[in-house]
Amino acid sequence: MTPPSYSGYRFPRDIVQRAVWMYLRFTLSYRDVEELLAERGITVSYESIRRWVLTFGPMIARRLRARRPKRLCCTDRLVGRLGLRGGVT
């Protein structure tokens, strides 16, 4: 997959990625993200954030899911195989 092109956007790549990341990671509203960026001195419309999420959101969401730690689903079987009793030893 080729990385997206941020050329033609008013804001730098880092600001666009941070806004989309905050929206996806913390399930904030567009206006919440707008307020968080305003606290950092970045004036951006919630409509711009909405367009960024629609454009770059799927790619960033895939990267977030790929970095998620894998779950250990068979720990009970492992304890049984080792002959340990339940609980912490």
pLDDT means per 10 residues, the chain with 89 residues, are 77 92 91 96 95 90 76 58 58
46 located within any domain: yes
Q: Give me the pLDDT at residue 39, please.
A: 97
41 located within any domain: yes
The domain in which residue 32 lies consists of: 13-82
78 located within any domain: yes
Q: Give me the pLDDT at residue 8, please.
A: 82
| Assigned token pair, 47 | 């409509």
* Residues 19, 33 contacting (CB under 8 angstroms): yes
Is the pTM higher than 0.75? The answer reads no
Cβ neighbors of 20 (< 8 A, separation 6 or more) are 49, 52, 53, 56, 57, 60
The 10 Å CB-count burial string (b at 16+, else e) for 14-23 is: ebbbbbbbbb
Q: Give me the pLDDT at residue 77, please.
A: 58
19 located within any domain: yes
87 located within any domain: no
Report how many domains make up the chain.
1
